[in-house]
Homo-oligomer: A and B are copies of this chain.
Amino acid sequence: MAIVLGPNQYGKAETHLVRIVRDSPRHEITDLNVSSALRGDWSAAHLEGDQSAILPTDTQKNTAYVWAKTHPVDPIEDYGLSLAHHFVDDVEPVVGARIEIERFGWIRATVDGSEHDHTFVRTGPEIRTAAITVGPDGEHVIQGMKDFVILKSTESAFKDFLVDEYTTLAPTEDRVMATSLVAKWRISGDSLSEGGIDWNAMYEGVKAVMVAQFATLHSLALQQTLWNMGRAALEAYPEIAELKLSAPNKHHFVVDFSRFGVENQNEVFHADDRPYGLIQADVVRDDAPPAGDAWRSYSGLV
């Protein structure tokens, strides 16, 4: 029996990088939180403190900045692929690179009814995400979103559920259903190889498809809604091999007015913080190629 070094990686997390394109008076802004991790044989660093194969995390940060000048940052997937390839292709000991990106939303400010050339207002809470891996098993791209808060005020039920001795919940035909969605979809290797994906259009398209399902399905359960959101996205985008959803059920409790002589027919709710239901589901193609390192994550990027 021996104690050995297992899987490991290191890098620079949460480099907050803003890129302004100012080639014309109408500027463009891209606002990113970039994390990079390098994979390879780092055993000498761990076992002996030998740094000779270690590219400092500070260098990774510098590189992320330079790449934002020398390569397009929009779409973020192309930026991430380029940066990952640089680490793997140009830095000798690096065998694999993981780039995780959050993109924060901005819109142009409106002045006198027109979009302003160089003034922007932050939007949110929705954050677009990307996770790019380049390594021994090739390229992987996972596109996604987080903190996308969506609510429907009717056409959601929860009833006929399993009851045991600790069940006190009353079934309901009509409730508020709300979530702060995390969704991540993996692009198939074939589609990546073919190239030509319009990443920004895909992001908006997947979001639109999922929103439509959330809105129009008369929901019997959050599980059912999630499944249909994922299924519809895969039907619309053959490039997507699988899609993962993690959805807190943000509870909106009807406040009990019975003692006040006032009716409350799903009109006034207490929105509770904790605890929350949490539903997680994957929707996959049954012929999806293996995920390899695609889902091996790095930063917790909260």
Contacts and interface: CB of A to CB of B under 8 A. Distances in A.
Interface string A258-291: 0110111111111111111111111111110000
B121 A152 contact: no
Contacts of A197: none
Contacts of A106: 151
Contacts of A270: 15-18, 65
Interface of A: 1-22, 27, 29, 31, 35, 37, 42, 45-59, 61-63, 65-66, 68-70, 90-93, 106, 109-112, 116, 118-126, 148-155, 158-169, 176, 208, 211-212, 214-216, 219-221, 223-224, 226-227, 230-231, 234-235, 242, 244, 246, 248-249, 252, 255, 257, 259-260, 262-287, 298-300, 302
A281 B189 CA distance: 28
B169 A58 contact: yes
A266 B22 contact: yes
A211 B57 contact: no
A14 to B, nearest CB: 4
Contacts of A266: 20, 22
A160 B22 contact: no
Given A4-B284, A4-B286, A59-B167, 12 more contacts: A10-B280, A12-B276, A15-B270, A15-B275, A16-B275, A20-B266, A21-B267, A47-B224, A59-B168, A68-B268, A109-B214, A273-B274
A56 to B, nearest CB: 5
17 contacts: A1-B287, A13-B277, A14-B275, A15-B274, A18-B271, A45-B221, A46-B226, A47-B224, A50-B160, A63-B166, A65-B255, A66-B260, A69-B262, A120-B151, A121-B151, A273-B273, A300-B300
B111 A211 contact: yes
A221 B53 CA distance: 12
Given A51-B221, A91-B162, A164-B59, A123 B123 contact: yes
A165 B256 CA distance: 14
B248 A20 contact: no
A55 to B, nearest CB: 5
